[in-house]
A and B are shown apart, each in its own frame.
Chain A
């Protein structure tokens, strides 16, 4: 799915976080947003995801205006900077969450959920950790769980907010390679 951002402006009080930002991401493209800290990368991603409302401007998915669409209807996957894993759930339940909260009509059966979660865990090479809690994982493992959780709902767009920010250089390289492989399955990833 293609993303278009038109003249987005966002201010927090007196501080202007984003001023007339416009860009386009064609379908199937992997794009990285670069900039010093405090330059508004996270804010921009949050606006695209719908977690934050822009003061001005619009966001288009696939040529359709999505500015007023709610977070739930945007079909985006979001990997947070600090992963935001659900601490009271096991790795398995974390990844299954997006499938379990679907309305009954479109919710997959328990068997399907089980299969899909394990397929995703295999993809990120963590299927031996399904019963652990997030606190029992290392940083790199958590990052991969967060990625698997975002991919579980088969998003049209995948947004990653500094996905490797909390990892050291060596783990980062491994993860980046792994991520790139995973993302090929997804339509349009944007990283910051």
Chain B
């Protein structure tokens, strides 16, 4: 079980990082510095300033991450012991059932995965829309500042 978690973290966390790094680079450190000057400590600065500013980007990363984790096969297959009910994931279960010629069950599980993928897609679109709204608002502010 810890192996599965580790393997999944290894293949999915880059998605979150890649989502967040450009966002944070663009936002700069000015707001954090302002918070420090006003007397906030490191934790307060992180939870009250940094986190709210990246929340949509972070959520977007988590959703992408989750999508990847749900469907992850290779890395998990290598480290997992394939014990039913203990160290099994949905894609691995599809494989086991398929190899046991229980096609109906295998397809049922596969459909479940597909359904989860659709849910993820909807969630992703909503968050993407939210992020874009925020970006547009930021841009409008920048234009106003320049004018």
Contact = CB atoms under 8 A, between A and B. Distances in A.
A101 B39 contact: yes
Contacts of B140: 135
Given A135-B140, A139-B145, A166-B145, A84 B38 contact: no
Interface string B13-52: 0000000000000000011011111111100100011001
A153 B30 CA distance: 18
A165 to B, nearest CB: 11
Given A135-B140, A139-B144, A82 B36 contact: no
B137 interface: yes
A155 B98 CA distance: 71
B38 to A, nearest CB: 4
Secondary structure at the B interface, as helix, strand, loop or mixed, is helix
A177 B53 CA distance: 34
B53 A51 contact: no
Contacts of B41: 72, 101
A88 B52 contact: yes
A190 to B, nearest CB: 14
A49 B140 CA distance: 31
B34 A84 contact: yes
B48 A97 contact: yes
Interface string A56-88: 000000000000000110001110101011111
A34 B141 CA distance: 29
Interface string B134-147: 00011011001100
A84 B31 contact: yes
Contact of A71 (B30, B31, B36, B141): B36
Given A135-B141, A139-B145, A166-B145, A84 B40 contact: no
Contacts of B35: 86, 97, 101
A101 B145 contact: no
Across the A-B interface, the 7 shortest Cβ-Cβ residue pairs: A98-B38, A84-B30, A101-B40, A84-B34, A135-B141, A78-B37, A88-B52
Interface of B: 30-31, 33-41, 44, 48-49, 52-53, 137-138, 140-141, 144-145
Interface of A: 49, 51, 71-72, 76-78, 80, 82, 84-88, 97-98, 101-102, 134-135, 138-139, 149-150, 152-153, 166
Given A49-B37, A166-B145, 10 more contacts: A76-B37, A82-B30, A85-B31, A85-B34, A87-B53, A88-B52, A98-B38, A101-B35, A102-B39, A135-B140
